[in-house]
Amino acid sequence: MTEQALSTAVAAGQKTQSASSGLSGAWLPRLITGFVILLTWEIVVRVSAPAYVAKPTTVILAIPKVLTEPAFLQALGSTLVAVAEGLVMTIVVGTILGLLMGRSITFDRVFRVYINFFNAMPMIVVLPLFSLWFGYSSGARIATIIFAAIFAITMNVADGARSVPRDYLEVSRSFRSGRLRTLIDIVLPSSMPYLLAGFRLAAGRALIGAVVAEFFLSVGGIGYYILYNSRSYHHNEAFVGVLLLAAFGVGFELLVNWSTRHFMPWYRRDEKST
């Protein structure tokens, strides 16, 4: 009896030890890998590419210069405001549409075809059309961002609204709450994890939409900054822009993971990402 207890205690001790060493042990291989990647990049570019091609050492030197450059800050602000505006509109409209689709079978059957169609369409094919409709303007950029992002939100919210536990709805009905009440107080909170999963996808797509729109429409922003600088062979400066975009992409990912864990601890994230 005591022997058994002792052995479990030892096993538990070993387990925590190995777990903690596993965590701290992760940093070393990661650092080494990162270093190897950067070193390989540096060497390959130095040996075989022209001088203007970006390499780690020169990109690092360009970072302070770019981050204090007014033109860059303006471009960054312009893109971020557009993405934020687009995402807010996307979340409002996409959520309403998703809730309706999730809770009404008729609505779902009528709209599902179109949501699927536009969601499967590679979003950037709309650019020439949007440039005809909205001109070569920042309006076309917002439209592209919304088009790129909205269907991910709608589909996820619809999935969420469909999978509300039946018990909740029955309780709500037996307390005689109205349809709108049920939708806002029961269906919406219960679909939140899905909304967040949809938001993660939508944010990434919105970022891509913004950059592509700026390439295509020559609207000022971080995408255009990258395009302009790489055309004039300022690759190091342009690459700082790419690093920033990558940081936003990762930032959205981490933000959503964190808020799912923090605000919805009851929900275990399944591998649901379209």
Partner 1 sequence: MQSKALRRHAPFWFSIFAGIALWEVAGRNSSPAFMVPFSTTIARLWQLTVSGNFISQLVDSAKLFLAGFGLALIVGMPLGLLLARIRILRVGVEPYIMILYATPMVALIPFILSMMGFGFAPKLLVVFLFAVFPVLYNTVEGARSIKPELIEVAKSFRSSEWALWREVMLPYTLPYTMTGVRQAIGRALVGMIAAEFFLSATGFGQLIMSASQNFDTGGVFASMLVIGLLGVALTRLGLLIEQHFARWRQ
By the criterion CB under 8 A, which residues form the site for partner 1? 25-26, 29-30, 32-34, 37, 49, 53-54, 106, 109-111, 113-114, 116-129, 131-133, 204, 207-208, 211-212, 215-216, 223, 226-227, 230-231, 233, 235, 238-239, 241-242, 245-246, 249-250, 252-253, 271, 273-274
Nearest residue (CB) to partner 1, 53 versus 63: 53
Nearest residue (CB) to partner 1, 101 versus 188: 101
Least Å distance, CB 166 to partner 1, is 22
Nearest residue (CB) to partner 1, 32 versus 61: 32
Least Å distance, CB 88 to partner 1, is 20
Nearest residue (CB) to partner 1, 8 versus 33: 33
H or E segment and range at residue 49 = none
- Exposure of 114 by Cβ count < 10 A (0-12 exposed, 13-18 middle, 19+ buried)? exposed
Least Å distance, CB 271 to partner 1, is 6
Neighbours of 257 (CB within 10 A): 13
Least Å distance, CB 68 to partner 1, is 21
Amino acid (one-letter) located at 121:
M
Residues 6+ apart with CB under 8 A from 199: 87, 91, 153, 256
Torsion of CA 89, 91, 94, 99, to 10 degrees: -140
Nearest residue (CB) to partner 1, 61 versus 246: 246
Question: Distance between alpha carbon 175 and the CA centroid of its chain, in Å?
Answer: 39
Q: Which of 237, 234, 238 is nearest to 223 (CA)?
A: 238
